[in-house]
Amino acid sequence: MKVITTIDEMQTIMNKERKNGKSIGYVPTMGFLHEGHLALMKQARKDNDLVVISIFVNPLQFGPNEDLDSYPRDFEHDSMLANEQHVDYIFYPSVKEMYPRPSSVTVTVNERTDVLCGKSRPGHFDGVATVLTKLFHIILPDRAYFGLKDAQQLAVVEGLVNDFHFPIEIIPVPIVRENDGLAKSSRNVRLTEKEREQAPVLYESLLHAERLILEGERDPKMISSVIEGMITENSDGVIDYIEMYSYPMLKELPSLQGKVIIALAVKFSNVRLIDNLILNLE
């Protein structure tokens, strides 16, 4: 495994590998790797000759009330985990390397951002789309891997790739879950013991909603009410949102049809958890 810190060297190596006929799988990260990231790397390893990950805490996607400096970083641990997954290259640039001067061009995302978590983070996905545009051009992957836990980000990335005609296949990877169904997250350690016992109700409520839909229920308001009742009756969490949209366009549906996402966010005392299910009703 080789760690590369400059854009010029990364582009030179990637161009050489592509000319040698190697397929490249790419996993973009901001570091502090967890099992969700490892699942992406494992899938990339299965599908490609080479696996590249990037570790870059992107300042453009942090809002004014989000502390960039306090974002957790542990490159030594990250590189050890990447090596265990047989990653070939880690692209690990500095902020100055990625943004040596104020940007003359940035990317603005016009769709798929005014719902779910994007409502409370204006400009966040503009930062994501801008840095991914840069990273895609630097690494030139055949495939890029994103977790379905952040389904809104995946939807935005698919829109970016389609609109700008990147020759990249976007591979969604299923949510990694604990044995009791709770979506794995580095934030789960911030749950109290009681909250950790309650937290699986998020996924249980989504599965119950899925059963109702498969039995023929199509009213988003009715399904949302059932989910809300399950969560409020079985946990101390405060619901941030329960929303249903078409996927990946993230448009409101008066009646559920086609491919849909059921997504929720719940605030506990020290952490906010998200989860979702995507169903194809065609």
Per-residue pLDDT tens over the stretch 54-97: 999 999 998 887 778 888 899 999 999 999 999 999 999 999 99
Give 43-67 as a DSSP string: HHHHH-SEEEEEE---GGG--TTS-
pLDDT of residue 282: 83
Q: Write down the domain spans for the chain.
A: 2-173, 186-276
The answer to whether 23 is annotated as binding is no
Catalytic annotation, residues = 37
- pLDDT-derived band at 244, boundaries 50, 70, 90: very high
Q: What are phi and psi of 263, to 5 degrees?
A: -130, 150
pLDDT of residue 189: 86
The answer to whether 33 is annotated as binding is yes
How many angstroms separate the Cα of 277 from the Cα of each of 130, 196, 201, 257, 274? 27, 20, 14, 14, 11
Cβ proximity of 26 and 54 under 8 Å: yes
Return the CATH architecture of domain 2-173. Answer: 3-Layer(aba) Sandwich (3.40)
pLDDT of residue 237: 97
The answer to whether 181 is annotated as binding is no
Q: For 28-47, what is the mean pLDDT? A: 95
Cα–Cα distance, 220 to 81 (Å, whole number): 41
Per-residue pLDDT tens over the stretch 109-162: 999 998 998 888 888 999 999 999 999 999 999 999 999 999 999 999 999 999
Return the CATH architecture of domain 186-276. Answer: 2-Layer Sandwich (3.30)
